[in-house]
Amino acid sequence: MSAQFPVARPRRLRRSPAMRRMVSGTRLHAADLILPMFVKEGLDEPQPVASMPGVVQHTRDSLRKAAHDAAEAGVGGLILFGIPAVKDARGSAADDPDGVLNRALRDVVAEVGDALVVMADTCLDEFTDNGHCGILTPSGDVDNDATLERYAAIAVAQAEAGSQMVAPSGMMDGQVGVIRAALDGAGHANVPILAYSAKYASAFFGPFRDAAECAPQFGDRSTHQQDPAGPLEEALRELRLDLAEGADAVMVKPALAYLDVISAFRAESDVPVAAYQVSGEYAMVEAAAANGWVDRERMIMESLVAIKRAGADLILTYWATEVARGL
């Protein structure tokens, strides 16, 4: 073909691995990755999670070891979830200094707390006997303001246990402000809040409920988590409220199905934006790969790069240690 003007040839920059590497716009770094971990009270052996092959519920010891491995791989942070032996309507184990999560925080901070950021999920669903994220009214609704008091106490207990950041995930109105005030009042003004700001009532959380043993015993979370079909403005409203209440970093969750929300957060937010690649996103890839239907490693990297390109500064992913090792 003889063109009258030079043909545009974007392919020139794709010709070799070195060329592609040099011009790649999206680079993952191990420090961007945050590993979610589960610790269960009373276990003798780590317990595999059936719907998340490769993920376990840890014992106190195996948690320490896995935290050490993550730190050695250069992972940026850990977020811990605890499963207590005894659950009740108030989720009493969540703010008990000797509760499973608070003990685990102390263990892990002692082990790796200088090498990466150790944080706690601040919620009640792992701790309540009904699996809900808060205190219930007699009719079974989640009572927003009664739940806020519990979140405040839990965040303070987590900070006292050494948590270097707290991450409220319950989607109660006002949770960031109440937790900020409680932390400040208890002498923890330096503990930042990573707010789960846009969190959807998502089917992608399915496998997590096995891992954290927190499936609601009745009903669901759609009176507090966002409707997946809700407008983008609703997510932005949650973002603005959390920033006004003092969020130090904000999160979108799940990740891959909500790249538009991540990108809108990046445009609007003046604090770091995190995205949570959740249990169902993990399980989909692992299940398809186990069947030989997809290239597991390429799919993992492609999904992480897409989440980063959409605007996430930080990514919570169950593959954090494995991916960090390969970077």
Q: Point out which residues bind ligand PBG (CB under 6 A).
A: 121, 123, 125, 169, 205, 208, 221, 278-279
Is residue 59 a contact partner of residue 46, using CB atoms and an 8 Å limit? yes
Q: How far is the CB of 51 from ligand PBG (least distance, A)?
A: 10
CA dist 280 and 211 (Å) reads 11
Q: How far is the CB of 258 from ligand PBG (least distance, A)?
A: 13
Q: Which DSSP string do the residues of 225-272 spell out, in sequence order?
A: SBPTTS-HHHHHHHHHHHHHHT-SEEEEESSGGGHHHHHHHHHH-SS-
Q: How far is the CB of 61 from ligand PBG (least distance, A)?
A: 23
Nearer to ligand PBG, 208 or 265 (CB): 208
What do you get for the CA distance between the two ends of the chain, in Å? 42
AA letter at 32: D
Could you tell me the sign of the dihedral formed by the alpha carbons of 210, 30, 179, 175, in that order? Answer: negative
Nearer to ligand PBG, 115 or 299 (CB): 299
Which one is catalytic: 40, 87, 253, 308? 253
Nearer to ligand PBG, 32 or 281 (CB): 281
CA dist 66 and 37 (Å) reads 9
For the beta carbon of residue 182, count every other beta carbon within 10 angstroms.
19
Nearer to ligand PBG, 122 or 164 (CB): 122
Residue nearest to ligand PBG (CB): 208
Q: How far is the CB of 319 from ligand PBG (least distance, A)?
A: 12
Nearer to ligand PBG, 35 or 123 (CB): 123
> Which two three-digit tokens encode residue 103?
């003990």
Q: How far is the CB of 205 from ligand PBG (least distance, A)?
A: 4
What are the distances in angstroms from CA 259 to CA 198, 204, 282?
A: 12, 14, 16
87 catalytic? Reply is: no
CA dist 304 and 322 (Å) reads 13
Which one is catalytic: 40, 87, 199, 308? 199
Q: How far is the CB of 143 from ligand PBG (least distance, A)?
A: 17
Contacts of 170 (CB under 8 A, 6+ apart): 122, 123, 124, 125, 133, 134, 147, 151, 196, 224
Nearer to ligand PBG, 107 or 125 (CB): 125
CA-based nearest residue to 83, from 257, 175, 213:
213
Question: Looking at the annotation, which residues are catalytic?
Answer: 199, 253
